[in-house]
Amino acid sequence: MKTLFPLLFFGAALSAGAAGLPAQPPAMKVHDLASGFTTVFERNVGKPDADFIQDFKASVAARLPGFYGAERFEGRRSAGQRDADLAKARSEFPAIREAYANKVARFTAELPGHIASFRAAFPDYPATTDVWFLHSLGEMDGGTRNIDGKVYFIFGADVMVKVHGNGNEAAFFHHELFHDYHNMDCKTEPIWASLWNEGLATYVAKRMNPSANNAELLLDFPRNLVADTRKELKRALDDVQGKLDSEDQAVYAGLFYGSGNDGTGLPPRRGYYLGYLVAEEVGKGMSLQQMAKLQCDAARSAVVGAVERLRSTQR
């Protein structure tokens, strides 16, 4: 049986990675469950799905049961459907196996440097959040999930392979690390807050990686997102201006989900690009560090003002 690698310590690499960082080494840890998927896959070649599922649950999912179980979906997925998700991931794995192995190796090798460069830009980033690296069963490339009342910082190797390909992932990592760093202390998350959170993370990633293209900034999913949004930019800005304080999940889905259909006819997931334009507008008068420190009321004022200025340029 291959050994899983539950804990990798990045302290030494981080403390040496950038000048001027805090003297104490950060205690960021990576829990690697992604390698475990490969191990279980190999161990069950030729066996029925039921054996693979049982083995995976016992040896990998048991380390983060709240992610792989059905409970967090609050009735939207059953235990049987989660077993079907596992079987589907198994059936699709041979097609991505080589790329998946390369992604796992690159993640382990490259993440310390990305954290170090992020801390060079934001020296007060503590880099102490545990990272969970896993096969997400098609759910996510990176982000947070609230599981049993605790927020987990998760990267999905399978979706990273499918969405990112083999390109430079520095901008993606800086985007996700910014989310871990950024806290504007809002009690709720209306559309304006999501626009700011995602737009500012994308803007930070671009400023830290000036040569990053739209695909590397995740602004090309769905394809031609930027070009399609720009064709309808006036209408898109007018639309989002009227929804800034909305907390409607259907509105959120239309703006931030690739499959979102809010009846407007505007490109799905356009909120990421609109948020980027908002952050870029605010960035004309503030540094990245100042923007990151804006608290809830000040951030809302900045977003509202930026949207209005952007709308004025489209008339």
pLDDT tens track, the chain, 315 positions: 333 323 333 333 333 344 444 444 456 899 999 999 999 999 999 999 999 999 999 999 999 999 999 999 999 999 999 999 999 999 999 999 999 999 999 998 999 999 999 999 999 999 999 999 999 999 999 999 999 999 999 999 999 999 998 889 999 999 999 999 999 999 999 999 999 999 999 999 999 999 999 999 999 989 999 999 999 999 999 999 999 999 999 999 999 998 767 889 999 999 999 999 999 999 999 999 999 999 999 999 999 999 999 999 997
Number of domain units in the chain: 2
At 8 the pLDDT is 34
User: Using CA atoms, how far apart are residues 196 and 275, in angstroms rounded to an integer?
Assistant: 6
At 260 the pLDDT is 67
Q: How many helices (H) and strands (E) does the chain have?
A: 14, 5
Verify that 204 and 297 share a domain, yes or no: yes
Domain membership of residue 183 (yes or no) is no
At 261 the pLDDT is 75
Domain membership of residue 156 (yes or no) is yes
Beta bridge partners of 152: 145
Domain membership of residue 52 (yes or no) is yes
90 CA to centre of own chain? 23
Tell which of 174, 205, 233 closes a domain.
174
User: Using CA atoms, how far apart are residues 176 and 13, in angstroms rounded to an integer?
Assistant: 19
Domain membership of residue 146 (yes or no) is yes
At 227 the pLDDT is 97
Tell which of 174, 208, 237 closes a domain.
174
Strand (E) or helix (H) holding 32:
strand 29-32
Domain membership of residue 66 (yes or no) is yes
Verify that 148 and 28 share a domain, yes or no: yes
> What is the pTM (predicted TM-score) of this model?
0.88
Verify that 144 and 205 share a domain, yes or no: no
Verify that 168 and 195 share a domain, yes or no: no
User: Using CA atoms, how far apart are residues 111 and 174, in angstroms rounded to an integer?
Assistant: 10
Verify that 39 and 141 share a domain, yes or no: yes
Verify that 67 and 136 share a domain, yes or no: yes
Verify that 207 and 96 share a domain, yes or no: no
Verify that 224 and 286 share a domain, yes or no: yes
pLDDT tens digits for range 12-34: 333 334 444 444 445 689 999 99
User: Using CA atoms, how far apart are residues 44 and 290, in angstroms rounded to an integer?
Assistant: 52
* Residue 22 structural domain: 5-174
Domain membership of residue 139 (yes or no) is yes
Domain membership of residue 158 (yes or no) is yes
Verify that 18 and 163 share a domain, yes or no: yes
Verify that 118 and 259 share a domain, yes or no: no
Verify that 16 and 102 share a domain, yes or no: yes
Which parts of 209-269 fold into alpha helices (H)? 225-231, 233-241, 249-256
Tell which of 127, 142, 174 closes a domain.
174
